[in-house]
């Protein structure tokens, strides 16, 4: 993979094919101070006004491509950066490989908190592990009320919902959500009724004196992979049917639609939705619904099976960070009379964690 010159043409050669790089594509990437604000990498010109741009002179000098354009601009380009952009190397899917897991996962990705954690190499490693496994656990976090807000803001910005900036997870009278009881919660994804669905959930354990109330996690992408291989008809219908999810209480009614298994434009897994307390399948033909209900039953059985679920107890000072678009979470039943179980949670979006990861990668030149 390299940049080559062919007369005044710039060629990207990846061994399989050769592509001529458009002159305007190169011209709009000029990074000289006259054309780019170094504080924020924003252009000081409008590239949509460029017209009839050609290359008048081209040279390769070690690791740099030196170009002169017909509008009088001369600039140097780092060949490694041009190659990286052609390969889409900054795309997290190309730099962090997801590791699908089931109950055979031996060690949960775990890190220890310290006062300088936010800008540390350890934070980079934590975020990298988060994108690999879909979750991480951070230990020794101060057990101060609302500290979850400080930690979340050290990564990005909190996503406010009708539950507030953050929410308290404990058993209360007359709750507006089953999370605020001592009941067992089966594997589910949070808030599929929102537009957009919250990406990442953070939960901070402040008190946990009960013997039950174990946290449970399931890798939805691992289960979807299993379903695709063993029950392709079920996989197909769960990736095609858009289901309505609905939440209502005395103050608000929220609705959104989406597939239980959503794929991206390359048919890779994009998002898992599963919350059978809130889903309403559309009135399809009976034969189609027969298949859909069998498929939903099958994937529910997989999500709830010991084969794919891990269980562990959060202790005071633990923060768990979970990808709500990939993982399903839940808990086992507990007896509120045994003692206190008190967690605080909030949501952040993927752009927060991705932006922080890229920033730390740049900071440590990784």
Q: Give the tens place of pLDDT for each residue, 109-119.
A: 999 999 999 99
Q: Lowest mean pLDDT: which of 56-60, 126-130, 305-309?
A: 56-60
CA angle 159, 162, 168 (to 5 degrees): 80
Give the pLDDT of residue 84. 86
Mean pLDDT, rounded, of the chain: 93
Average pLDDT value for residue range 190-200: 96
Rounded to a whole number, what is the distance in angstroms from the first to the last CA of the chain? 21
56 — pLDDT class (breaks 50, 70, 90): very high
β-sheet with 18-20: strand ranges across: 2-6, 9-13, 18-20
The DSSP code for 294 is H
Give the pLDDT of residue 16. 79
Identify which of 357, 358, 359, 360 has the alpha carbon closest to the alpha carbon of residue 130. 357
pLDDT score of 165 more than 90: yes
Q: Three-state DSSP class for 6?
A: strand
Give the pLDDT of residue 182. 77
Q: How far is CA 304 from CA 103, 183, 223, 332, in A?
A: 11, 16, 11, 12
Q: φ and ψ at 318, to 5 degrees?
A: -90, 140
Does domain 96-363 correspond to CATH entry 3.60.130.10?
Answer: yes
CA distance 162 to 176: 11
pLDDT score of 178 more than 70: no
Give the pLDDT of residue 87. 81
* Omega before residue 257 within 30° of 0, cis: no
Q: Which of 179-188, 313-322, 328-337, 354-363 has the highest mean pLDDT?
A: 313-322
> What stretch of H or E contains 290?
helix 286-304
176 — pLDDT class (breaks 50, 70, 90): low
Task: Decide: 111 and 136 in contact? Cβ < 8 Å.
Answer: yes
pLDDT score of 223 more than 70: yes
CA distance 127 to 195: 25
CA distance 83 to 2: 7
Average pLDDT value for residue range 293-298: 98
The DSSP code for 197 is P
pLDDT score of 34 more than 60: yes
Give the pLDDT of residue 249. 87
Average pLDDT value for residue range 338-365: 93
- Which percentage of the chain shows pLDDT scores above 70? 97
Q: Lowest mean pLDDT: which of 174-188, 213-227, 269-283?
A: 174-188
DSSP secondary structure, 311-328, as one string: EE---TT-EEEEETTTEE
pLDDT score of 322 more than 70: yes
Give the pLDDT of residue 173. 57
For residue 58, the cross-strand partners are: 67
Q: How far is CA 77 from CA 44, 86, 338, in A?
A: 18, 14, 66
CA distance 366 to 364: 5
Which contacts (CB < 8 Å, 24+ apart) does range 95-100 have? 95/361, 96/128, 96/131, 96/132, 96/357, 97/132, 98/131, 98/132, 98/134, 98/221, 99/132, 99/133, 100/219, 100/221, 100/222, 100/225
Average pLDDT value for residue range 317-337: 95
172 — pLDDT class (breaks 50, 70, 90): low
- Which percentage of the chain shows pLDDT scores above 90? 80
Average pLDDT value for residue range 113-134: 96
Average pLDDT value for residue range 160-174: 83
Task: State the pTM of this model.
Answer: 0.90
Architecture of the domain spanning 2-87:
2-Layer Sandwich (3.30)
Residues of the chain within CATH 3.60.130.10 domain(s) are: 96-363
Residues of the chain within CATH 3.30.2020.30 domain(s) are: 2-87
Give the pLDDT of residue 174. 64
pLDDT score of 27 more than 90: yes
Task: Decide: 135 and 327 in contact? Cβ < 8 Å.
Answer: yes
Give the pLDDT of residue 6. 83
Segment 71-105, tens digit of pLDDT? 999 999 999 889 888 888 778 877 799 999 999 99
């Amino acid at each position: 993979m390299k940049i080559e010159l062919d007369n005044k043409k710039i060629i990207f050669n990846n061994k399989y094919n050769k592509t001529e790089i458009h002159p305007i594509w190169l011209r709009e990437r000029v990074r000289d101070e006259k054309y780019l604000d170094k504080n924020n990498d924003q252009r000081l010109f409008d590239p949509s006004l460029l017209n009839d741009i050609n290359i008048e002179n081209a040279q390769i000098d070690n690791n740099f491509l030196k170009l002169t354009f017909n509008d009088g601009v001369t600039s140097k380009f780092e060949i490694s950066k041009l190659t990286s952009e052609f390969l889409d190397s900054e795309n997290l899917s190309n730099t962090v490989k997801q590791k699908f897991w089931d109950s055979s996962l031996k060690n949960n990705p775990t890190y220890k908190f310290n006062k300088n954690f936010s800008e540390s190499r350890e934070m980079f490693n934590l975020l990298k592990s988060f994108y690999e496994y879909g979750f991480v656990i951070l230990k020794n976090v101060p057990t101060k009320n609302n500290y979850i807000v400080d930690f979340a803001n050290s990564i990005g910005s909190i996503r406010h919902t009708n539950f507030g900036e953050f929410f308290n997870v404990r058993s209360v009278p007359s709750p507006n959500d089953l999370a605020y009881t001592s009941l067992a919660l089966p594997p589910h994804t949070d808030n599929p009724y929102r537009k957009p669905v919250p990406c990442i959930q953070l939960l901070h354990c402040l008190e946990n004196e009960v013997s039950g109330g174990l946290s449970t996690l399931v890798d939805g992408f691992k289960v979807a992979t299993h379903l695709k291989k063993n029950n392709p008809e079920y996989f197909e219908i769960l990736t095609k049917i858009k289901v309505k999810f609905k939440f209502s209480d005395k103050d608000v009614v929220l609705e959104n639609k989406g597939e239980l298994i959503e794929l991206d434009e390359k048919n890779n897994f994009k998002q898992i939705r599963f919350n059978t307390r809130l889903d309403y399948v559309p009135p399809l033909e009976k034969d189609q619904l027969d298949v859909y209900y069998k498929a939903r039953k099958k994937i529910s059985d997989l999500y709830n099976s010991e084969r794919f679920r891990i269980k562990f107890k959060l202790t005071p000072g633990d923060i768990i960070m979970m990808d709500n678009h990939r993982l399903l979470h839940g808990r086992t039943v507990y007896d509120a009379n045994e003692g206190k179980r008190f967690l605080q949670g909030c949501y952040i979006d993927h752009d927060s964690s991705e932006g922080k990861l890229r920033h730390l990668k740049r900071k440590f030149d990784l």
